[in-house]
A and B are shown apart, each in its own frame.
Chain A
Amino acid sequence: MDRLLPLIVAVPLLGAAVLVGAGRRMPRLAAETVACACAAASTALACAALARATTVVSWAGGWRPRHGVSGGIVLVGDRIGLGLAALASVLVLAVLAYSWRYFEEPPRGHSGAFPALVLLFQAGMCGFALTGDLFDAFVFFELMGVCGYALTGYHVEESRPVQGALAFGFVNSLGSYATLMGIALLYARTGELGMAAIGRQLDAAPERDALVAAAFVLVMTGLLVKAAAVPFHFWLPDAHAVAPTPVCLVLSGVMVETGVYGVARVHTTVFGGPGGIPAAGTRRVLVVLGVVSAVTGAVMCWQQRHIKRLLAFSTVGHTGLFLVGVGLLTDEGLSGTCLYVLGHAGAKAALFACTGILLARLGSVDEHELHGRGRDIRGIGLLFALGGLALAGLPPFGTGLGKAVVEEGSAWLPALFGLVSALTGGAALRVAARVFLGTGERGREEEPETAGGEEEPETAGGEEEPETGRRIRLAPPPMVSVAVALLAGALAVGTVPALAEATYAASSAFLDHAGYAATVLGGRAGGGQPGHAAAAHGGAWWTWTGAALGLLSAALAVVLAAAAVVGLVPSRGWSAPLRRLHSGHIGDYVAWTTAGIGLLSLLTLW
Chain B
Amino acid sequence: MTRRARLWVLAAGLLGTAALFAAACLRMPPFGGTWHPYGDRAVAAAIAQRTANTVSSVNFDQRALDTLGEESILFAAVLGTVVLLRRTPDERRVAPQPASVPPALRRYAITVLPLALLIGLYVVAHGQLSPGGGFQGGVVVATALHLLYIGVDHRALERVRPVGLYELADGVGEGAYVVLGAAGLLAGSAYLANTLPHGTFNTLASGGTVPLLNAAVGMEVASAVVVLLARFLAQALEIVDEKTVDEKEEKEKE
Please report which residues of chain B, range 171-219, place their CB below 8 angstroms from some CB of chain A when the two chains form the complex.
171-172, 174-175, 178-179, 181-182, 184-185, 189-194
Q: Which residues of A contact B130 (CB under 8 A)?
A: none
Q: Of A114, A188, A213, A597, which is within 8 A of B83 by CB?
A: A114
- Against B, the Cβ 8 Å flags (1 = close, 0 = not) of A152-163 are 011011000010
Q: Of B23, B37, B72, B82, which is within 8 A of A13 by CB?
A: B72
Q: Which residues of B contact A13 (CB under 8 A)?
A: 68, 72, 174, 178
Q: Are B21 and A181 neighbours in the complex by a CB distance under 8 Å?
A: yes
The residue on B at minimum CB distance from A140 is B69
Q: Of B7, B86, B88, B184, which is within 8 A of A61 by CB?
A: B184
Please report which residues of chain A, range 187-227, place their CB below 8 angstroms from some CB of chain B when the two chains form the complex.
187-189, 191-193, 207, 209-211, 213-215, 217-218
Please report which residues of chain B, range 85-116, place their CB below 8 angstroms from some CB of chain A when the two chains form the complex.
85-90
Q: Are B42 and A154 neighbours in the complex by a CB distance under 8 Å?
A: no
Please report which residues of chain B, range 57-83, place their CB below 8 angstroms from some CB of chain A when the two chains form the complex.
58, 61-66, 68-70, 72-73, 75-77, 79-83
The residue on B at minimum CB distance from A20 is B171
In the complex, whether A569 has a CB less than 8 A from a CB of chain B is: no
The residue on A at minimum CB distance from B27 is A211
- Against B, the Cβ 8 Å flags (1 = close, 0 = not) of A127-152 are 10000010110011011001101110
Q: Which residues of B contact A96 (CB under 8 A)?
A: none
Given contacts A73-B63, A189-B28, A587-B6, are A153 and B79 in contact (CB under 8 A)?
no
Q: Which residues of A contact B20 (CB under 8 A)?
A: 210, 213-214, 217-218, 597-598, 601
Q: Which residues of A contact B172 (CB under 8 A)?
A: 17, 21
In the complex, whether A414 has a CB less than 8 A from a CB of chain B is: no
Q: Which residues of B contact A210 (CB under 8 A)?
A: 20, 23-24, 26-27
- Against A, the Cβ 8 Å flags (1 = close, 0 = not) of B235-250 are 0000000000000000
Q: Which residues of B contact A3 (CB under 8 A)?
A: 185, 189-191
Q: Are B190 and A150 neighbours in the complex by a CB distance under 8 Å?
A: no
Please report which residues of chain A, range 556-606, place their CB below 8 angstroms from some CB of chain B when the two chains form the complex.
580-581, 583, 585, 587-588, 590-599, 601-602
In the complex, whether A18 has a CB less than 8 A from a CB of chain B is: yes
Among the stretches B10-18, B139-147, B149-157, the one at the interface with A is B10-18
Q: How far is the CB of A368 from chain B (nearest CB, A)?
A: 28
Q: Are B42 and A71 neighbours in the complex by a CB distance under 8 Å?
A: yes
Q: Which residues of B contact A592 (CB under 8 A)?
A: 9, 13
In the complex, whether B84 has a CB less than 8 A from a CB of chain A is: yes
The residue on A at minimum CB distance from B29 is A188
In the complex, whether A60 has a CB less than 8 A from a CB of chain B is: yes
Q: Are A21 and B23 neighbours in the complex by a CB distance under 8 Å?
A: no
The residue on B at minimum CB distance from A113 is B83
The residue on B at minimum CB distance from A587 is B6
Q: Are A17 and B76 neighbours in the complex by a CB distance under 8 Å?
A: no
Q: Are A61 and B66 neighbours in the complex by a CB distance under 8 Å?
A: no
Q: In the complex, how many residues of chain B place their beta carbon closer than 8 angstroms to a beta carbon of chain A?
A: 75
Secondary structure of the A contact surface, majority rule: helix
Q: Are A62 and B16 neighbours in the complex by a CB distance under 8 Å?
A: no
Q: Are A21 and B168 neighbours in the complex by a CB distance under 8 Å?
A: yes
Q: Of A24, A61, A116, A207, which is within 8 A of B64 by CB?
A: A61
Q: Are A24 and B164 neighbours in the complex by a CB distance under 8 Å?
A: yes
Given contacts A21-B171, A62-B193, are A598 and B77 in contact (CB under 8 A)?
no
The residue on A at minimum CB distance from B28 is A188
Among the stretches A4-12, A277-285, A353-361, the one at the interface with B is A4-12
Report the bound CA distance from A10 to B79 in whole Å. 18
Q: How far is the CB of B88 from chain A (nearest CB, A)?
A: 5
Report the bound CA distance from A58 to B36 in whole Å. 26
- 3 smallest beta-carbon distances between A and B, as pairs: A21-B171, A598-B16, A150-B80
List the interface of chain B (C-beta within 8 A of A): 1, 6-7, 9-10, 12-17, 19-21, 23-24, 26-29, 35-38, 41-42, 45, 58, 61-66, 68-70, 72-73, 75-77, 79-90, 164, 167-172, 174-175, 178-179, 181-182, 184-185, 189-194
Contacts A60-B192, A75-B65, A107-B87 supplied; 17 other A-B pairs, CB < 8 Å:
A6-B65, A17-B174, A19-B171, A23-B171, A71-B38, A110-B83, A117-B80, A120-B76, A136-B66, A142-B69, A146-B76, A185-B24, A192-B37, A213-B24, A214-B21, A591-B7, A592-B9
List the interface of chain A (C-beta within 8 A of B): 3-7, 10, 13-14, 16-24, 58-63, 69-73, 75, 107, 109-110, 113-114, 116-117, 120, 123-124, 127, 133, 135-136, 139-140, 142-143, 146-147, 149-151, 153-154, 156-157, 162, 165, 181, 185, 187-189, 191-193, 207, 209-211, 213-215, 217-218, 580-581, 583, 585, 587-588, 590-599, 601-602
